Structure 1
Amino acid sequence: MTKHRFLPVRPLSAALVLLLALPLGAVQAQIARPSATPRLVVPAPPAASTAPRAGAQRQADFIVAVVNSEPITNNEVRAKLLRTEQMLKQQGTPVPPRNELLPQLIERMISDKAQLQAAQASGLKIDDNAVEGAVQTVARQNQITVDELRRRLTADGIDYAQFRSEIRDELLISRLRQREVKADVSESEIDAYLRDQQGQPGAASAAPAALNLAEILVAVPENATPDQVASLQARAQQVLERVRAGADFAALAAELSASASRGNGGQMGLRSADRYPPLFVEATQSLRAGGLAGPVRSAAGFHILKVIEKRQGGLPDAVVAQTRARHILLRLTPQLTEAAAIEKLAGFKKRIAAGQADFAALARENSQDGSAKEGGDLGWAPAGAFVPEFEKVMNALGPNQVSDPLVSRFGVHLLQVLERREVPVSPRDQREMVRGMLREKKQEEALVRWAEDIRGRAYVEFREPPQ
């Protein structure tokens, strides 16, 4: 795995998962903006699933809407609604009332069907190998095998053949979007943007356009006594002091945080500021990348916050966090199964921990990656440089800590973080970051117009309201 192969990879979207972890306002934006690509998360089998089972009694089906002569049925809407509600609950997001969610969901289904029809009419094809590769990617993103993925889907009442069909449809729509929607950014547009941002008085203190924050949450029980609250606040303050003294934030988050983001080193991801709690935005408003705030009190407890990235008024911050790591990669073959690769790398980890082997020497001898000759060293990399399943584990490691074997789309890795730092962004890099932001914005706008055009040209007939 040479470094260039770890360029950011957009997580896979599937019709199975809509509106992940979004409040109602963001739900509306998600339906309106087909460019949004939620990460596919496969739910663990619940104790008692609300999804319709194959043997469950079902009411007679009927047509809710017709899109260019193809129907959307009541059972399709119900299944989509139940899956969406289940995913929102698992993400800890309030579920909107059905009378608000249903019209949005149906409109999204109409838009998706119209786009799929356009993709099919264009002559584009998705072969079985591409579908199988996408399914394997979904399994790896969720750190499970394909067999376990199939089992979880079945336990959740989702037909595996239908799941593959929806994956194929999403790949087809995605390929059509890539072909039809282009967004180029000129050097003059970058110059104009930079002049505009630099000419804004007080821009440094304005509310940020986008943030990536990491948190460590010390949870406070709902009925905690004043003494308990004071004790937990003191504990949060101690954690903050450890970070300020040089302790690794990601490692402490993985060890101590009660937040769902602990598995990602506490990082909550780059998103618009209005998708963070206002108290988080206010607490970090005057901080640059790498800055710390807290403990910040919320209904959940006390939060220690770290600014990973801040885009002030749309302009990237002048400092970025970087990680230097090394790894050993074993690629899977018919002769080397995933289980065998994991077992081999676990043996390497034991030898390294016992002082019987050197990580760099093992990488040079065994790693099947271009970095092997450098002892597995991947060099300095900013956030987002590696694929999500790799970066998630990397962010949770402290300096010199060695991971357990992890599976990515490239194979099985043994990973070690060597050090972390924060560095200023060069003018050239800043221009490239601005180029990326402008391109993404233009592409989102172009995708919205394209989707509206596809939807506007579709014949849609509404029949009976869903039940």
Structure 2
Amino acid sequence: MKNTIKTILLVSSLIISAITPAHANEELLDRVAAIVNGGVVLESEVNDLLANIKRQAKSNNQSLPSDRALRIQVMDKLITDSLLTQMAQRMGIQISDAQLDQTISNMAKDDNMTLAEFRQKVISDGSSYEKYRENVRTELISGEVTRNSVRRRIFIPTQEIANLITVMKEQTTNNIEYHLGHILIEFPANANQEELAAAKNRANKVVELLNDGSDFAKIAITSSGDANALKGGDLGWKNINEIPTLFSELINEKPKDTVVGPIRTGLGYSIVKVLDIRGLKVVEIEEVRARHILIKPSIILSDDKAKALLQGFLKQINAGEATFAELAKEHSQGPTSVRGGDLGWADPTSYDPAFKNALATMKAGDLHKPFRSSFGWHIIQLNERRMIDATSQMNETRAYQILFNRKYGMESARWLKETRDEAYIEIFEQDNK
């Protein structure tokens, strides 16, 4: 069966430029670079991503490893994307054009650009805007599949939360955050002593190169088996409590540019570098209390009709014909409908970006015109704003999130490795003509 699939896919990648003449020449427009279960990775996809990475590296004055090493990482990412996209299809996960446009609009706002300016920037950087949109869609789908799959694997005992809250209270003056880089030198599952020794030798060599001043991002792209390899191994900013205990004990109070490792984990040997350090102390945070009405578009109810329905509700509220709570109970499709759409007190940054941005423009008592989020169409009534002491009111929520984040990275890597191990993957050698 696998051979049949491979034959069909390879033949389908060839398009004959002329069929009638017996001596017609064949023109290779594309080829299959890899088979991933029932899907494929095309050579054009590999070349597009390679070109994009090289453009970004050039604009950032970032050096890159050899084309061969870079291609290995690119193939690895595209294979993972293919697996997650196939899983999304089975799970029924989709990102609509409206959701995608909203996400890109938020990205443009974050860069202080209009959508038109953002589009032009993508084109000016040498990319196809249509391909860029689809790449963003793939990233959103992959993230959703990963979160859905990994979340159910993480269990956090109540006692573990209580223990962390105690530690946090003892560390109220410790608000240091670390910007970390990570390189993973993998070894096979059930590795023998020879394989373990070989992996550790490679890891020691990496540490030696880093201590001698070699570029961390370049080595990560070349050598790391971690999911962040193509990002130069960048793990972003993390509080000491969010870093896996195995690393945090070695990193705590270490200065910038410290290299720690190799550290043996279940996946391989990890090498961590402190790229930067900053202090951050947040005593108070703003919370908002709002109501909303959610209408989800469907095959029967289009986006335009959902928006018009909500505009009608606003007219009723402004005319005094109905209250917001009454309409929410009757029409809202969210879980808060039974409470008249009441969302309770919450940190606005915890909401969908479109929802958060809408709240940011509102004053207490305001009604917001219909807008689209990743969940559907909303209208909002903002009731109140307040500042709270985050350390006294949100310790339990914060502790849970810290523990979840601590476990999520390792568990997602473990889940992805299991997923790949169970998949049928065949990579074809590059034609070096």
TM range (shorter): 0.3 to 0.5
TM, length-normalised to structure 2: 0.48
Larger relative contact order (CA 8 Å, sep ≥ 6): 1
TM, length-normalised to structure 1: 0.45
Which structure is larger by alpha-carbon Rg, 1 or 2? 2
